[in-house]
């Protein structure tokens, strides 16, 4: 199974502060994704990427930026964190085909006070 790691695993931030969540995959997958998961909403797509240097907006991009500096790394940046961004964040990766499965990292639990 594909290996996707995330750091940090837990984070407490203050309102207005900057938060960077990191994701690394070692399977040479082209596509990477950032989701947030909240009770009653399932998984919602924030940003995704087709490869190094590319980022695309998902369904809920407001308040988030993304960066894909290399094939392996994909970051999610909260420039001005707000309490509404308290959530669990998952990174996922997949190969290029439409039938390819997405593999998820362990998640980052973010609390914004």
Partner 1 sequence: QQKVQQSPESLIVPEGGMASLNCTSSDRNVDYFWWYRQHSGKSPKMLMSIFSNGEKEEGRFTVHLNKASLHTSLHIRDSQPSDSALYLCAARSSSGSWQLIFGSGTQLTVMP
Q: Nearest approach, Cβ of 74 to partner 1 (angstroms)?
A: 14
Given its phi and psi angles, is residue 83 left (phi above 0), alpha (psi -120 to 50 degrees) or beta? alpha
Residue number, 19 or 47, with CB nearest to partner 1: 47
Find, among 83, 102, 93, 76, the residue nearest to 7 by Cα: 76
Residue number, 15 or 37, with CB nearest to partner 1: 37
Q: Nearest approach, Cβ of 18 to partner 1 (angstroms)?
A: 25
Residue number, 6 or 75, with CB nearest to partner 1: 6
Q: What is the DSSP letter of 14?
A: -
What are the two backbone dihedrals, phi and then psi, of residue 55, each rounded to the nearest 5 degrees? -140, 145
Q: Nearest approach, Cβ of 47 to partner 1 (angstroms)?
A: 11
Compute the distance between CA of residue 60 and CA of residue 41 in angstroms, rounded to an integer.
12
Contact footprint for partner 1 (CB under 8 A): 31, 33, 35, 40-45, 48, 50, 56, 58, 90, 94, 96, 98-99, 101-107
């Amino acid at each position: 199974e594909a290996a996707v790691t995330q750091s940090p695993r837990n984070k407490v931030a203050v309102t207005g502060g900057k938060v960077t969540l990191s994701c690394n995959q070692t399977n040479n997958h082209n596509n990477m994704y950032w989701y947030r998961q909240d009770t009653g909403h399932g998984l919602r797509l924030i940003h995704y990427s087709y490869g190094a240097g590319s980022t695309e907006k998902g369904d809920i991009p407001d308040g988030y930026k993304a960066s894909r500096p290399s094939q392996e790394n994909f970051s999610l940046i909260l420039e001005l964190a707000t309490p509404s961004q308290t959530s669990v964040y998952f990174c996922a990766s997949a190969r290029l085909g439409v039938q390819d499965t997405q593999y998820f990292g362990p998640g980052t639990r973010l609390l914004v006070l």
